[in-house]
């Protein structure tokens, strides 16, 4: 699998097919583990994923806005 580095964080990119048919749409992420998910076309104020394992999922087309 391919990996990318963002500062001191290394991300392993999963091998996903071109469809999201096997992934469950979610409106937010959090908790201990997120598996087989797709978070797409969402507007989020923050994305705190500390201590969260993201397994076999896809995040795309997010709009991030600062809290007021």
**Domain spans, the chain:** 22-68
- pTM, two decimals, is 0.56
Q: Which residues are paired to 60 by β-bridges?
A: 40
Give the model's pLDDT for residue 25: 86
Burial classification of residue 47, based on how many CB atoms lie within 10 Å of its CB (0-12 exposed, 13-18 middle, 19 or more buried): middle
Q: In the Cβ-directed half-sphere of 60, how many Cα atoms lie within 13 Å?
A: 8
pLDDT tens track for 5-51: 999 988 888 776 666 678 888 888 878 888 888 888 888 777 778 88
CB atoms near residue 29 (< 10 Å): 17
Nearest Cα neighbor of 16 from 44, 56, 64 is 56
């Amino acid at each position: 699998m391919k990996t990318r580095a963002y500062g001191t964080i290394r991300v392993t990119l999963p091998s996903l097919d071109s469809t999201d048919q096997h992934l469950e749409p979610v409106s937010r992420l959090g908790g201990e583990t997120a598996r087989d998910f797709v978070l797409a076309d969402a507007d989020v104020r923050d994305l705190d994923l500390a201590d969260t394992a993201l397994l076999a999922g896809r995040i795309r087309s997010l709009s991030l806005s600062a809290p007021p």
